[in-house]
Amino acid sequence: MKCTNNNRTSVNRVSVNTGPGEHTGRGASARSRAAARKRRLMKKRRRQQRIAAVLISLVVLIGAGSAAFFLFSGLSGDTVAAYGAEKYSRSLYEGTLFADDLCVSTEDVALDGFADDASFYAAGLFNLNSRSVVCGYHLYNRIYPASTTKVLTGYLALKYGNLEDVVTVSEHATDFEWDASVCGLRTGDQITLYDLVCGLLLHSGNDCATAIAEHISGSEEAFVELMNKEARALGATGTHFVNPHGLPDEEHYTTAYDLYLMFNAAMKDERFAEIISMTSYKGTLTGADGTVRTETWEASNYYSSGQVQAPDGIRVLGGKTGTTDLARNCVILYCVDSQENPYISVIMGASSRNALYEAMNRLYTAGISA
């Protein structure tokens, strides 16, 4: 009995002693397995994330490459051509068109039979049909233009004005020295813009130039800004004007080639050509008191006035003269040969009027008649 009780007690003791130890071992094992599963899951997720990142990167690279390929392919064809034509090629294209009907030379051009000398500052002969510079002497040298300035003034009057407009002459337009070239305008006179342009181009009236400037732009200063803007637009980049008539100023200058550009543009207007071809014009003016009078304006170039004859086979239609002490004697002319081929000719800075027209006839003989 005692033995049995001892055994049961022993068993119970063992059961009591071993039970708690066995529970603690099973809990640790479960936690370990759970941690292991968690680590495996995390590793799997990280692998999946890396694979996904790689796949995404590949997709992005492939997409970017494809887009670049198609973009490049497209732009290399019609798209680039269209864009280039619209943007990058525009200035070159316009430049080609701009010079397409011009006589162009980057340097002076010698002409057999026409010797350049100190009797003038610059000279040029331009064949408008062949678009060639037949002769060029000091074409790009800066010179005083004198009243050849009025070529641009007349061009702008025709471009921006209404020739039927009646202009009231201001006091400023009549404020010139007694020996200045004028057409006899008086303060308060009323005269059409057409008559002003005739007086400007034929008789070289400084008063006409100022009246035109004030009518077109509101002031002489504003008109001068327009002159310089338009000169640049015509390619006359060696030109800068400070007045509409050409009286001397250090900042008032041009080149023989720029004068050709301006005169060439003006001659495309038939009204300009018609006016310079006149030998004289009778202007009608209404004074401030209502009195109507007329003024006769003779052409200032010697070919139109009949004082000089051009060489045989050459007919001078007209042009524009200019004379000051600094500019000396200048003229730019439009003429045709016996086949009606047109030319523009210019002599700037001749020592006298006789020397001016002698040089011009030598230029005609060497460059056109020969």
pLDDT tens by residue, the chain, 370 residues: 333 333 333 333 333 333 333 333 444 444 455 455 555 555 555 555 555 444 444 444 444 444 444 333 443 334 333 333 333 333 333 344 557 789 999 999 999 999 877 789 999 999 999 999 999 999 999 999 999 999 999 999 999 999 999 999 999 999 999 999 999 999 999 999 999 999 999 999 999 999 999 999 999 999 999 999 999 999 999 999 999 999 999 999 999 999 999 999 999 999 999 999 999 999 999 999 999 999 999 999 999 999 999 999 999 999 999 999 999 999 999 999 999 999 999 999 999 999 999 999 999 999 998 6
Pick the catalytic residue from 15, 38, 57, 150.
Answer: 150
Whether residue 338 lies in the annotated active site:
no
What residues contact 157, with CB distance under 8 A and at least 6 apart?
Answer: 193, 196, 197, 200, 212, 216
315 vs 268: CA distance, rounded Å: 18
Whether residue 268 lies in the annotated active site:
no
Predicted pLDDT at 52? 47
Q: How many CA atoms does the CB half-sphere of 287 hold within 13 Å?
A: 8
Pick the catalytic residue from 181, 204, 300, 345.
Answer: 204
The two structure tokens encoding residue 178: 């007694």
Counting every residue written for the chain, the total comes to: 370
Pick the catalytic residue from 10, 87, 130, 147.
Answer: 147
Residue 130 within a domain: yes
CB environment 11-29: b (16+ within 10 A), e (fewer): eeeeeeeeeeeeeeeeeee
Residue 198 within a domain: yes
Predicted pLDDT at 307? 97
Predicted pLDDT at 118? 75
Is the distance from CB of 337 to CB of 313 less than 8 angstroms? yes
Q: How many domains does the chain have?
A: 1
Task: Give strand pairing partners of 166.
Answer: 192
In terms of DSSP H, where are the helices of 75-162?
A: 80-86, 90-100, 150-160
Whether residue 150 lies in the annotated active site:
yes
Return the H-helix or E-strand segment holding 345: strand 342-350
Amino acid at site 367: G
Predicted pLDDT at 5? 39
Residue of 141, 200, 139, 207 whose CA lies nearest to 170: 207
Residue 13 within a domain: no
Residue 251 within a domain: yes
Residue 188 within a domain: yes
Residue 63 within a domain: no
Q: What phi-psi label fits residue 117: left (phi over 0), alpha (psi between -120 and 50 degrees) or beta?
A: beta
Residue 71 within a domain: no
103 vs 127: CA distance, rounded Å: 7
Q: What is the CATH number of the domain that holds 150?
A: 3.40.710.10
Show the domain range for 257: 101-369
Residue 317 within a domain: yes
Gyration radius from the chain CA atoms: 45
Q: What phi-psi label fits residue 324: left (phi over 0), alpha (psi between -120 and 50 degrees) or beta?
A: beta
